[in-house]
Structure formats: C-alpha cells, structure tokens
Structure 1
Amino acid sequence: MQPGLLYFLVPRKCGIVGVNCEALPQQVNFLIDEGMCSGKGSNAIVSYLDFFFKNYGLGEEVVHLQCDNCAGQNKN
C-alpha cells in the first residue's frame, strides 16, 4: 500500500527542547515527533540533558540549570 495524497497533507505535531550552554557558541535543539514522546514528565527532559552532556559536554562536574516555559504543568 502506497501512501495516498492525503498522507502528505496532514501536518505533524512535534515538540522542541533546546539546550544552550554559555561555553559553546551554539544551541542544541531536540525535535521530538509526537509518536516518540513518552509523556510530559521530567524523565524525558533528564534524558535529553544526559544526551547533551555526554555528546556536547566539556567535562562539567557542577551544573546550574535554568528552565522556563513548563507547558507540561497546565492546571486546567
């Protein structure tokens, strides 16, 4: 079965998480497809930070984090 024309017209929902380190001159963004997101909990964010420090880290032992835009805590 080949995907029909409607397959390409349906928008995809995705989330984005950005990590900016002041020592690096760049920001690393994680683009998460809706099918890969396991939830809105802190475990996903900790996994992204772990990946960032393993692959882009400079050997830090002490880290000060600042987070904002916590859309997962909507109280409606």
Structure 2
Amino acid sequence: MSPVTASVPDAVYEILVSDYHKTYPITWEDFSSIIKYKLLSEDRNLLNGYVDMSGDLADRIKKNSIYACTMEELALRLKT
C-alpha cells in the first residue's frame, strides 16, 4: 500500500490500512447499481457526448443495460 501514501491524505491512508480486508477491496460491482441507474437514465445523445463514446456504443449500452445484472455481464454484452 505504500505507493498509495503519495496519492492520498494521511487520514485516508490510515483508514485504508485499518479497514483493509474488512470492508475492502472495493470492486466495480459495488457501484453497479449506481452505474446502471446512470446509464439507464441518460439520454442516448448525452451518452454519445462522453469521450470515446460512439453512437453505436451508446445504443448497445442502452439496449443491454436493461438485461445485464452485473457490470461484468454488461461488459461482456457490449463486446463486439
């Protein structure tokens, strides 16, 4: 964890050290409901405005977000 010390305040580092493996590690699946909500609530044109987001990818996200239960499943559904 030492490379982290240069990137976070001391208080944050202390929390990371004391709580590591108790409530950590955090994975992207922990944010899946928030991400899914955002993807489903965004208009296709707004999604298309994100960096590296093509219209085709925005359409696939809108279509597949409904059916994917996890972020990993969504990522697999989005692969071409």
When normalised by structure 1's length, the TM-score is 0.30
Whose strand proportion is higher, 1 or 2?
Answer: 1
Higher relative contact order (CA 8 A, sep 6+): 2
